[in-house]
C-alpha cells in the first residue's frame, strides 16, 4: 500500500533555470496545504526531474492549470497620457457640440412643419410688343427654371461660390478648410466657407446677422434642404432668391436690371458678371463700378475654365468683350408707366398671389422718344427759361396710352406729374367753352367782340394786352382771345362749361365761376389728354387705360380688356366744327410752330398766370399728345408759354410717331374749313345734317349768328385790378 501510494504521488516540477521566483507569482501558487489530500504525502517522495539538493521551500512552483500569470505593470508614457486625455476631451466635446446643436435646433420650427417660404409674386409689366418695361413686387423679377437658362449661367455661380456643390451634403468641411487657408494666405477674407445650400438657408429662413447661433442654425437648415430637395432644385431656389442689388432678387430680375434682357439671353460674359455680383452687390454693381464688376467676372471665368464649365476659347472671347450694363428701351421713364399700372391693377384683378405678366398699351419706342424729347428740351433750355419739370402723355383716340412721361428723371423724383400733378390748364381748357357754345347753335364763323369785358369787378385781358374788335370764333380760338372765351362762358353759363368738360372725361373738381373759361380749375395732364380724345375720334368719350390684359406665367388669362368708354359725348356736327376751329391753332395760331406738313392737326395751347404752367394738347386722327412744363414748387418760369417750349416737345414726339403713317383727316373738319367751302359728303360714319346738305349744294357757309359789333376801346393796364391781371392771361 505504501508503495502504491508512493507510486501515485504527484511530483511538482522545478524551474531552476528561471531564476528566483517573483514573490507576486509565488503568492498565486498553491501550497501543499491548499491541495486536496495535500497532507498525506510528506517528505518521503523523491524527485526524478533534476534539481536534487535544492530545498523544497525554495523551489519554483508551477501555477495552477487554467490560471493566467499576471503581466508586469508598466508605467504609461507621456504620449499615452496625451492620447488618453485627447480621447476623453474629444468625447466630452462631441457631447457638448451635440448639446449645442440640439439647443439651437430646438429654436427652429419642427421638421414636419418646416417649408420653403413662398416667393413673393412678381408683376412683369410689358409693353405692347411684349418687351419688358419694368418689374414690380418685392423680388423685381419672375421665377425661372434651370431648363430656361443657358447652362453656363448656373455653372458660373457654382464655380465661384461653391465648386463642390454637387459633392457635399450641404456643409463642406473641405471647402471651409480651403477658404481658411486662402484667407490666411491672402491676409484677409478672400473666400467664404458657406455652401450655396447654406446661403440659400440663410436667405430663406434666417436674418442677416453674423452670429455663431445663426451659423449653427444655417448648417442645420442646409442639411434639411439637402435631405428634402435635389441638387438642381436647390440651385433653382438659390438662383431665384439670391440678391443682386438695386432691388433685384433672382437672376431674371438681375438680368433685366443690369442688361435689359431676360436671363435666358445673357452671354457668357454677362453670366460671369452676375455670378460674381452676389459676393458684394453694392460694391460690384456694374452700373456703379464697372471696372470692379469686370475684374470679378474675370475671376469667375477663370474658375469656370478651371472646372471645365467653359471652353478656353469661349473664356478668351468673353474676356476680350467684357459685359457692360444696358438701359431698357423705355429708359427710366418706363417706371412712371409701371407706377400707373400698379395704382390701377387691383381694380382689375384684385390681390396678386402668383407671378403675372401685365400687357400694356405702351409703345416702347414712342416712350423712349417722348422721354428724350422732354429731357433734351429741359436740358437745353430749362436753365434759361427757369423751368425744371414736365410731363408728356400720348394716347390713341380710343384712350389707349401709348407713352407716359411723369417727370424729367425718375431716379431723382418718382412723383408722377402726368397722372397726379393737378395744374391749371389755362387756355387749354377753352375747347370745352367753345364746345358748349357750338352745341347751343354757334358756328366757327360766329362773330363775337374782342373788347373789354367786366364781370362783377373782374375784367380779364388778352395775352397781347390789346383788343381786336369783332372776330370769328375760329380766329378767337386760334389766337386764344380771352375776352371772347369769357363772353361765351357767360352766354352758356359756367355750369354748362363744367358739365361739358365732365362729360368728356374731366374728373377733377371744377369751379363753375366766371374764370373757368380761362382754365383756373386744376386738372392732370392725363385727364386733359383723355378729354381731347373725343375730338380726335369723332365724339366718343374715352376712359384712358394702360392695361390691355393680365396673364399668369403659365398663360392663364386673368383679365382682358373689352370694349368700354363713355359713349357718344359730342354730336358729329359739333365735332366737325371744333376740329375745324382747333385746326387753325396749328395752321395759323399759337401752335403754328408745331405744324407737321401733310397732316391734319388740331389742338390748343395754354399758359397760366405769371407763366407758371405751359401746355399744349394736340392731335391727329390717330394720336393725341399733351405736354406740360412748369416747376414743382409753382415758381414762375421766364415766359414759357404753350406756344414755345411745349410745342417744340410736342412736335418732336408727334413727328416721330406719325413718320411713315398715312395721314388721316380729322373727323368732320373738312366741312368747316376756313373760307366756308363745304364738302359733298360727311366724314365716314358721320351723318350729314340738313344744313350740311344745303351747303354742299350751294357751296356757301353758314352766316354769322349775330352781326359784327363795333370795336370799343378798353381801360389801360394801370386801371386793371389784381383779379384782372390774375385771370387775364392766355
Task: Kindly report the backbone phi and psi dihedral angles of residue 204, in degrees, each rounded to the nearest multiple of 5, phi listed first.
Answer: -80, -40
Looking up cell 523523491 gives 46
Residue 628 pLDDT > 60: yes
Percentage of residues in the chain having pLDDT higher than 90: 64
Tell me the C-alpha distance between 305 and 315, whole Å.
7
Tell me the C-alpha distance between 392 and 615, whole Å.
10
pLDDT tens-digit readout, 419-443: 999 999 999 999 999 999 999 999 9
**Strand pairing report for 567-568 and 557-560:** unpaired
For the chain, give percent helix, strand, coil, nearest 5: 45, 10, 45
What does the pLDDT read at residue 52? 42
pLDDT tens-digit readout, 560-580: 999 889 999 999 999 999 999
458, 723 in Cβ contact below 8 A? yes
Neighbouring C-alpha atoms within 13 Å toward the C-beta of 37: 5
pLDDT tens-digit readout, 669-713: 998 877 544 433 333 333 333 333 323 332 333 333 333 333 333
641 is catalytic: no
pLDDT tens-digit readout, 246-304: 889 999 999 999 999 999 999 999 999 999 999 999 999 999 999 999 999 999 999 99
Catalytic option among 357, 365, 427, 620 = 427
The mean per-residue pLDDT over the stretch 52-57 comes to 45
Residue 655 DSSP label = H
SS3 for 381?
helix
The string over 320-343, giving b where at least 16 C-beta atoms fall within 10 Å of a residue's C-beta and e elsewhere, is eebbebeebbbbbbbbbbbbbbbe
pLDDT tens-digit readout, 462-520: 988 899 999 999 999 999 999 999 999 999 999 999 999 999 999 999 999 999 999 99
SS3 for 618?
strand
Lowest mean pLDDT segment, chosen from 31-35, 182-186, 344-348, 366-370? 31-35
635 is catalytic: no
Q: Domains in the chain, ordered, with CATH?
A: 132-320 (1.10.3810.10), 426-722 (3.40.710.10)
Q: Please, what sign has the CA dihedral across residues 414, 419, 420, 424?
A: positive
Residue 346 DSSP label = H
CA distance readout (Å), 169 to 227, 231, 532: 8, 10, 66
Cell of 675: 373760307
Average pLDDT of the residues of the chain: 83
What does the pLDDT read at residue 101? 57
Catalytic option among 128, 161, 252, 724 = 161
What does the pLDDT read at residue 204? 86
Q: Could you tell me which of 445, 435, 437 has the C-alpha nearest to residue 678?
A: 445
pLDDT tens-digit readout, 526-544: 999 999 999 999 999 999 9
Which residues, 6 or more positions from 211, have their beta carbon under 8 angstroms from its beta carbon? none
Neighbouring C-alpha atoms within 13 Å toward the C-beta of 270: 21
pLDDT tens-digit readout, 394-415: 999 999 999 999 999 998 999 9
Residue 602: which H helix or E strand, with range? strand 602-607
Amino acid at each position: 500500500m505504501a508503495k502504491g501510494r508512493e507510486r501515485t504521488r504527484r511530483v511538482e516540477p522545478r524551474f531552476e533555470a528561471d531564476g528566483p521566483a517573483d514573490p507576486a507569482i509565488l503568492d498565486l501558487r498553491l501550497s501543499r496545504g491548499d491541495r486536496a489530500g495535500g497532507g498525506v504525502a510528506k517528505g518521503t517522495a523523491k524527485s526524478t526531474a533534476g534539481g536534487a539538493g535544492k530545498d523544497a521551500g525554495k523551489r519554483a512552483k508551477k501555477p495552477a492549470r487554467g490560471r493566467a500569470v499576471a503581466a508586469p505593470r508598466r508605467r504609461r508614457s507621456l504620449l499615452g497620457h496625451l492620447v488618453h486625455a485627447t480621447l476623453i476631451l474629444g468625447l466630452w466635446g462631441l457631447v457638448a457640440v451635440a448639446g449645442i446643436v440640439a439647443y439651437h435646433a430646438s429654436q427652429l420650427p419642427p421638421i414636419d412643419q418646416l417649408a420653403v417660404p413662398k416667393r413673393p409674386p412678381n408683376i412683369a409689366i410689358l409693353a405692347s410688343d411684349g418687351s419688358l418695361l419694368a418689374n414690380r413686387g418685392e423680388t423685381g423679377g419672375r421665377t425661372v427654371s434651370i431648363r430656361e437658362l443657358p447652362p453656363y449661367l448656373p455653372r458660373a455661380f457654382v464655380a465661384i461660390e461653391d465648386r463642390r456643390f454637387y459633392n457635399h451634403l450641404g456643409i463642406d468641411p473641405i471647402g471651409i478648410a480651403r477658404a481658411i487657408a486662402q484667407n490666411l494666405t491672402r491676409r484677409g477674407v478672400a473666400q467664404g466657407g458657406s455652401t450655396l445650400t447654406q446661403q440659400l438657408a440663410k436667405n430663406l429662413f434666417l436674418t442677416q446677422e453674423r452670429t455663431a447661433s445663426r451659423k449653427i442654425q444655417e448648417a442645420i437648415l442646409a442639411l434639411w434642404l439637402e435631405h428634402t430637395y435635389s441638387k438642381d432644385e436647390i440651385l433653382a431656389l438659390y438662383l431665384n432668391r439670391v440678391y443682386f442689388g438695386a432691388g433685384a432678387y433672382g437672376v431674371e430680375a438681375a438680368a433685366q436690371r443690369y442688361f435689359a434682357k431676360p436671363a435666358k439671353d445673357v452671354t457668357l460674359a454677362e453670366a460671369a458678371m452676375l455670378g460674381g455680383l452676389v459676393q458684394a452687390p453694392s460694391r460690384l454693381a456694374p452700373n456703379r463700378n464697372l471696372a470692379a464688376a469686370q475684374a470679378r467676372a474675370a475671376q469667375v471665368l477663370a474658375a469656370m475654365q478651371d472646372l471645365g464649365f467653359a471652353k478656353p476659347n469661349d473664356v478668351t472671347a468673353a474676356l476680350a468683350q467684357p459685359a457692360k450694363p444696358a438701359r431698357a428701351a423705355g429708359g427710366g421713364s418706363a417706371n412712371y408707366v409701371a407706377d400707373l399700372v400698379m395704382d390701377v391693377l387691383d381694380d382689375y384683378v384684385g390681390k396678386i398671389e402668383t407671378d403675372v405678366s401685365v400687357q400694356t398699351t405702351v409703345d416702347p419706342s414712342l416712350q423712349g422718344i417722348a422721354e428724350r424729347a422732354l429731357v433734351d428740351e429741359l436740358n437745353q433750355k430749362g436753365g434759361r427759361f427757369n423751368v425744371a419739370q414736365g410731363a408728356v402723355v400720348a394716347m390713341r383716340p380710343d384712350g389707349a396710352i401709348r407713352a407716359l412721361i411723369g417727370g424729367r428723371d425718375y431716379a431723382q423724383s418718382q412723383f408722377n406729374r402726368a397722372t397726379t400733378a393737378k395744374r391749371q390748364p389755362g387756355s387749354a381748357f377753352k375747347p370745352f367753352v367753345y364746345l358748349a357754345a357750338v352745341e347751343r347753335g354757334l358756328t366757327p364763323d360766329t362773330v363775337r367782340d374782342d373788347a373789354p369785358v367786366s364781370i362783377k369787378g373782374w375784367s380779364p385781358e388778352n395775352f397781347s394786352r390789346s383788343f381786336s374788335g369783332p372776330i370769328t370764333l375760329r380766329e378767337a380760338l386760334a389766337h386764344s382771345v380771352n375776352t371772347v372765351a369769357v363772353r361765351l362762358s357767360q352766354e352758356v353759363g359756367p355750369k354748362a362749361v363744367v358739365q361739358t368738360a365732365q362729360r368728356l372725361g374731366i374728373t377733377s373738381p371744377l369751379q363753375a365761376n366766371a374764370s373757368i373759361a380761362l382754365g383756373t380749375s386744376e386738372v392732370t395732364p392725363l385727364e386733359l389728354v383723355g378729354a381731347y380724345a373725343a375730338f380726335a375720334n369723332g365724339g366718343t368719350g374715352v376712359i384712358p387705360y394702360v392695361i390691355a390684359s393680365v396673364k399668369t406665367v403659365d398663360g392663364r388669362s386673368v383679365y382682358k380688356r373689352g370694349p368700354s368708354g363713355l359713349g357718344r359725348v359730342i354730336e358729329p356736327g359739333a365735332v366737325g366744327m371744333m376740329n375745324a376751329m382747333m385746326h387753325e391753332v396749328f395752321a395759323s395760331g399759337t401752335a403754328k410752330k408745331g405744324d407737321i406738313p401733310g397732316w391734319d392737326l388740331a389742338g390748343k395751347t395754354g399758359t397760366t398766370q405769371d407763366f407758371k404752367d405751359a401746355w399744349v394738347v394736340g392731335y391727329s386722327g390717330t394720336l393725341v399728345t399733351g405736354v406740360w412744363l412748369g416747376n414743382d414748387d409753382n415758381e414762375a418760369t421766364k415766359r414759357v408759354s404753350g406756344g414755345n417750349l411745349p410745342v417744340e416737345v410736342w412736335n418732336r414726339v408727334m413727328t416721330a410717331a406719325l413718320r411713315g403713317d398715312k395721314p388721316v383727316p380729322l373727323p368732320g373738319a373738312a366741312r368747316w374749313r376756313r373760307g366756308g367751302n363745304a364738302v359733298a359728303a360727311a366724314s365716314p360714319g358721320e351723318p350729314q345734317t340738313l344744313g350740311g346738305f344745303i351747303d354742299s349744294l350751294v357751296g356757301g357757309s353758314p352766316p354769322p349768328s349775330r352781326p359784327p359789333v363795333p370795336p370799343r376801346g378798353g381801360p389801360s393796364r394801370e386801371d386793371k385790378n389784381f383779379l384782372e391781371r390774375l385771370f387775364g392771361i392766355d
